Amino acid sequence: IRLSRKYKEIKVDGVTLEEAAKPPIQDIWNFKPAQIPDIPNVVDKGMLQSSLINFDTEYVEKVMPKDTANMVLAIQKAGIAVTGFEREEFSDALSKTVDYRVKVTPVHGKESTLSFQLPKIDENGKYMINGVRYYMRKLRADMPIRKINTHTVALTSYYGKLFVERSQKKVASFDNWILSALTSEILDGSRVKGVVYGNSYGEQQPVPRIYSAIAQSYLEMQIGDIHFHFDYEGMEKNFPGVALPKTKNQDWPVGRKGNEIVYMDRNGRLKVKGQDIGTIPSLIDLDDNTAPAEIVVLRVMG
């Protein structure tokens, strides 16, 4: 056990190997494009942005050393402890390289040293080996986690791709459960009135689950004495002067009860002036406990 934690004590450039291997998530997930200084001859100013200008520099300086350290630490998953880590740069007229020496100790066996060599890559993604200059080649790839439709998320890595899908069978469909109940109430005409049909659903909207389900079919409706709005894009127009949430865990304005704003929390609970008034299903006498248990389907390689 002591040997398996040795990497937490090994120093690399003034920090432990454990810290040197932690990926800079804030940099990896920063997809904001860099701004290019204005060029008068460029009519479409949207072309003055690029997410690739600083890509090589930031990867080489901030991410690549951590990828290398993570690669080394992956040895521990095979039951082999990393007990030493050294790195040394070499440069001559023909090549620039970085030599690594890693001391490893198996659970049963003697300590040994593994050596490997990587090219020294400059800030522009170039490197030289045996007098030949090479360039790093970018590989176009999908985002690691991307929602591709209302019920499917694609998980992508260098190794492969997985699709995680919310089952669309009626027996496990929350969307069908709430929309069918609302349709019945609309046809009855006693509790649900003033319906405006439309679809304001968007794949990147961080709204509560029931909000996104209803927004696929309705923009507005009156349930009892509460007038609901499910238009995400028109939220600022429908609730002028109301501070809109900045994170998905905050309460969302979804309607009005008289002069008071009705908010919905992450779990679909409705609130007026901080007081819980139930859920949308409870307003139409639908038991929340009868909601179907949603099922996830995992598809490998499509």
Lookup: tokens for 180? 């069918």
The residues of the chain scoring below 70 in pLDDT are 1, 301-302
Structure-derived torsion over alpha carbons of residues 65, 67, 68, 73, reported in degrees to the nearest 10: 130
Distance CA 187, CA 109 (A): 76
% of residues, the chain, pLDDT over 70: 99
273: left (phi over 0), alpha (psi -120 to 50) or beta: left
- Contact assessment for residue 208 and residue 266, using Cβ atoms and an 8 Å cutoff: yes
Q: How does pLDDT run across 66-81, given as a tens digit for each residue? A: 999 999 999 998 889 9
- Residue 205 has a pLDDT of 86
Q: How does pLDDT run across 74-105, given as a tens digit for each residue? A: 999 888 999 999 999 999 999 999 999 999 99
HEC readout, the chain: CCHHHHHHCCEECCEEHHHHCCCCHHHHCCCCCEECCCCCCCCCHHHHEECCCCHHHHHHHHHHHHHHHHHHHHHHHHCEEEEEEEEEEEECCCCEEEEEEEEEEECCCCCEEEEEEEECCCCCCEEEECCEEEECCCCCCCCCEEECCCCEEEEECCCCEEEEEECCCHHHCHHHHHHHHHHHHHHHCCCEEEEEECCCCCCCCCCCHHHHHHHCCEEEEEECCEEEECCCCCHHHHCCCCCCCCCCCCCEEEEEECCEEEEECCCCCEEECCEEEECHHHHCCCCHHHCCCCCEEEEECC
- Residue 302 has a pLDDT of 59
Distance CA 8, CA 266 (A): 39
Judge if pTM exceeds 0.85: no
Q: How does pLDDT run across 192-217, given as a tens digit for each residue? A: 999 999 999 887 888 999 999 999 99
CA distances for 121 relative to 30, 93, 129, angstroms: 22, 15, 10
Identify the CATH number of the domain defined by range 170-290.
3.40.1580
Closest CA to 267 of 247, 240, 291, 249: 249
- Contact assessment for residue 228 and residue 221, using Cβ atoms and an 8 Å cutoff: yes
- Residue 301 has a pLDDT of 66
Distance CA 128, CA 122 (A): 10
- b/e map of 187-207 (b: 16 or more CB within 10 Å)? eeeeebeebeeeebbeeeeeb
% of residues, the chain, pLDDT over 90: 47
- Contact assessment for residue 3 and residue 83, using Cβ atoms and an 8 Å cutoff: yes
Report domain extents, the chain: 3-135, 170-290
Signed CA dihedral, 209, 215, 220, 221: sign only: negative
